[in-house]
Structure formats: C-alpha cells, structure tokens
C-alpha cells in the first residue's frame, strides 16, 4: 500500500464533496434537520389531554373533582356536554380523547360514605395516549379521594416505585441518545454509498482502474473524508443532545466518542460496500443505503421497541444490525454512566462488524469492467 496514492484519493474525494452542494446538504443539513424534527416530534410524554365533561351531578363536589383534573396539568377541559351522544361527536372529530362522566348521585354517595363511581371513556384508537391517560386519571382520582374530609381509603399495600437512570421519566432523555444513532447510521451510509457508484456512472472509474492503484488504497482513500465528516456529525449530534435538548450525559464523554468512532468506521465501510455492489448506479446505491439502514435502525435497534419483546427470529436479526450495539452503548453511557467493561460485548461486536464490512468492501472491489 502506498501512502501517496491513499493521500491523492482522500484529497480528491474531499474536494469533490466540498464542491457538491448535495453531498454537503446530506452531510450537515440533513442530520441537523432530522435531529430537531424527531427530537421534538417523538415524545411519549402526554400533556394537555383534551377532555369533555358530562357533569350530571352539578354539585360543588363535582366541580371540585373537575378542577382537580384541570390542576394536574395533564387534562384540558375541551367542553361540558349534556348527553352521551356528544361524546361520539367529540371523539370522532378528534376534539377530545377522554370523556369524564360524573353520575347524578356522586356527591350524595361521597357524603354518605358509599363507594362513589366516576365514569371514564377513553379514545382507544390512540392506545398509547389512552393507556397513559388512564394512569393519570387513576392517580388524580386517588389524590382526590385522599383529600376528602374523613376519607379512610388506605390501600392494603402501598407500592412506591422509584425510577432509576431517568428519574424525571422524560421520554426525551432516552429518545435522544438512540435518535443520534439512528440518524447517523442513515447519514453515514447514504453519504458514502454514492462514492464508488458515482465514479462508474461518470466514467472516471475506467481511468482509475487502468492505473496501478490497489483496491485497498481506493477504499481507504475514499473512507478518510467520509469518516471525518461522519465523525464530525456524531460529535455535533451528541453536542446538540447535551447542550440543546439538555440530556444529561452521565458516563464518560471520551468513551462515547471513542465508540462513536468505531461505529462511524463500520457505517462508512458499509456505505462503500453498498456503493461497490450497486455498480454504476447512484440511484440504486442510495436506495439500498436508505433501505438497509433506516428501517432496521429505527425498528430493530432497540431505539423505539425493546428487543426482548420481539419474536425470536426478529431478535436474531437484530444481531446483524450495528445500530443495535451502538443504541445500547449510547443509552448506557448517557443514562446509566456505563463503563467500557459493562459495554465490552457491544463494543467488541461493533468493532468486528466494522472490520468485516471493511474487508468485504476491499475484496469486492474489482479493477475490471464486467
């Protein structure tokens, strides 16, 4: 391997990226936009659930209960209705997700010590919100019961959960560390996937393969600038996560950065392997890069859905998705402050993946027209 040749290719590739607005946009604009859009859009926190109230009691006690719901911050009263039919109207037009029905004899029941029931109807078409809303309703109800004068509602077992690692249970804190991984898996592969295909498409590859340059020199030379850009992107994304979204980074930033470098190396190697296999078509290459990174990283990396809940074969599939390892690493370092010993398994597999894909790319590169 000659350094002179690797250097020539790396320099040429860098000049080309810097002169190509599309490459620059993919490299810097796309990750920024995705990070902000997904960072704000994906949240499991439920606030201000629009609620309609059918108050058949119309007593001071029922009004107290309603204001208790309002004060919790989770519910916004959209309207007061006068009949069950109205619930349909509000649910169908998406103006409400929860209906609260207070029966006629509510205050009488409470005062006489009989069990008082409050009806709740939830819009199950958004099951996630419905489940969370149900939890909030129970909590508010319990709180209200406790504060009633002379209340003797004491649970037999008092369960008091304590949440570790993300005590505020802010969904953003666990979404951002995974989101960084998903976005970078896509960007790095997409960006790199064009580099070899473009040369075949434009005819410059024919000139290049007529020279004594070796496949390993071409692959390394091309990877250097893409690795640098991908790595800069990851640093940028981590920075935005910590300083803009305020996600606490509990573990070692250096460990995170070092493992990010290994992840980036695997990503660019994978991109160039796609590019080599998509011979001659940039369109095919970018499609392949998107398909093989976005959905797997999004769905099978453990970013959105816990791998342990997946059916067996799907769980096995996740092992060949490098994002899986880096999602675990990123969440671990961000939220739990995991150390390298704790992440040894993921770090090892991530490294093996990078090495295997890099070797495959060099082996697959042909200096012939087929």
Partner 1 sequence: MKSGNDIAVKVEHLTRRFGDFVAVDDISLEVRKGEVFGFLGPNGAGKSTTIKMLCGLLLPTAGSGSVGGYDIMTESEEIKKHIGYMSQKFSLYEDLTVEENIDFFSGIYSVPPQKKSERKEWVISMAGIGDRRKSVTKNLPQGFKQRLALGCAVLHEPPILFLDEPTSGVDPISRRNFWDMIYVMSKDGATIFVTTHYMDEADYCDRLAMIYRGKIIAGGTPNELRLEHMKRDVLEIEVDRTVDAIDILYKSGVDAAIFGSRIHATVESAEVSAPSITKLLEQSGIRVLNVEKIEPSLEDVFVTLIEVS
Could you tell me how many residues of this chain bind partner 1 (CB under 8 A)?
27
| Integer Cα distance of 314 and 18 in angstroms | 40
Considering beta carbons, is residue 17 or 323 the nearer one to partner 1?
A: 17
> Considering the complex, what minimum distance in angstroms separates the CB of residue 17 from partner 1?
10
Residues 6 or more apart whose Cβ sits within 8 Å of residue 293: 185, 186, 189, 190, 270, 323
Provide the 10 A C-beta neighbour count for residue 154. 7
| Integer Cα distance of 363 and 288 in angstroms | 19
> Considering the complex, what minimum distance in angstroms separates the CB of residue 204 from partner 1?
5
Applying CB under 8 A, the span of 157-165, 227-235, 252-260, 362-370 interacting with partner 1 comes to 362-370
Written as six digits, the tokens of 293 are 């990174």
Considering beta carbons, is residue 115 or 203 the nearer one to partner 1?
A: 203
Site for partner 1 in 2-21 (CB under 8 A): 2, 4-5, 7-9, 11-12, 15-16, 19-20
Residues 6 or more apart whose Cβ sits within 8 Å of residue 168: none
Applying CB under 8 A, the span of 59-67, 91-99, 147-155, 201-209 interacting with partner 1 comes to 201-209
Considering beta carbons, is residue 281 or 287 the nearer one to partner 1?
A: 281
Site for partner 1 in 22-81 (CB under 8 A): none
> Considering the complex, what minimum distance in angstroms separates the CB of residue 277 from partner 1?
19
| Integer Cα distance of 188 and 169 in angstroms | 31
Considering beta carbons, is residue 26 or 184 the nearer one to partner 1?
A: 26
> Considering the complex, what minimum distance in angstroms separates the CB of residue 124 from partner 1?
56
* Sign of the torsion angle spanned by Cα atoms 135, 137, 140, 142: negative
Residues 194, 272 contacting (CB under 8 angstroms): no
> Considering the complex, what minimum distance in angstroms separates the CB of residue 7 from partner 1?
6
Applying CB under 8 A, the span of 30-38, 125-133, 204-212, 305-313 interacting with partner 1 comes to 204-212
Considering beta carbons, is residue 125 or 204 the nearer one to partner 1?
A: 204
Site for partner 1 in 125-164 (CB under 8 A): none
Considering beta carbons, is residue 15 or 320 the nearer one to partner 1?
A: 15
Q: Which residue has the tokens 């160039």?
A: 272
Written as six digits, the tokens of 240 are 């935005």
Site for partner 1 in 205-224 (CB under 8 A): 205-213
Considering beta carbons, is residue 167 or 203 the nearer one to partner 1?
A: 203
Considering beta carbons, is residue 106 or 200 the nearer one to partner 1?
A: 200
Q: Could you list the residues that contact partner 1 (CB under 8 A)?
A: 2, 4-5, 7-9, 11-12, 15-16, 19-20, 202-213, 367-369
């Amino acid at each position: 391997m000659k350094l002179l040749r690797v250097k020539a290719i790396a320099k040429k590739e860098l000049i080309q990226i810097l002169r190509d607005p599309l490459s620059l946009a993919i490299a810097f604009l796309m990750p920024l936009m995705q990070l902000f859009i997904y960072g704000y859009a994906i949240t499991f926190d439920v606030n201000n659930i629009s609620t309609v109230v059918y108050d058949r009691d119309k007593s001071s006690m029922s009004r107290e209960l309603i204001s208790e719901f309002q004060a919790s911050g989770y519910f916004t009263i959209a309207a007061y209705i006068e009949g069950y039919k109205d619930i349909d109207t509000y649910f169908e037009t998406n103006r409400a997700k929860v209906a609260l029905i207070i029966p006629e004899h509510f205050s009488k029941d409470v005062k006489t010590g009989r069990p008082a029931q409050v009806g709740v109807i939830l819009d199950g078409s958004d099951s996630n919100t419905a489940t969370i809303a149900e939890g909030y309703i129970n909590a508010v109800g319990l709180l209200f019961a406790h504060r009633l004068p002379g209340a003797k509602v004491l649970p037999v077992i008092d369960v008091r959960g304590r949440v570790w690692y993300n005590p505020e249970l802010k969904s953003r804190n666990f979404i951002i560390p995974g989101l960084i991984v998903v976005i970078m898996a896509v960007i790095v592969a997409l960006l790199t996937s064009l580099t070899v295909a473009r040369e075949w498409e434009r005819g410059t590859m024919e000139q290049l393969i007529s020279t004594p340059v070796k496949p390993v020199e071409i692959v390394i030379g091309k990877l250097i600038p893409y690795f640098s850009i991908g790595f800069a992107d990851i640093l940028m994304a981590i920075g935005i996560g910590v300083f803009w979204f305020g996600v606490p980074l509990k573990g070692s930033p250096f460990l995170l950065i070092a493992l990010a470098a290994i992840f980036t190396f695997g990503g660019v190697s994978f991109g160039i392997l796609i590019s080599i296999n998509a011979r001659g078509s940039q369109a095919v290459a970018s499609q392949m890069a998107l398909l093989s990174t976005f959905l797997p990283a999004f769905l099978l990396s453990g970013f959105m859905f816990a791998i342990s809940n997946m059916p067996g074969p799907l769980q096995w599939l996740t092992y060949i998705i490098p994002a899986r390892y880096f999602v675990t690493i990123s969440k671990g370092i961000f939220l739990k402050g995991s150390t390298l010993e704790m992440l040894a398994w993921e770090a090892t597999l991530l490294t093996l993946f990078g090495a295997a894909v890099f070797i495959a790319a060099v082996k697959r590169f042909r200096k012939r027209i087929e």
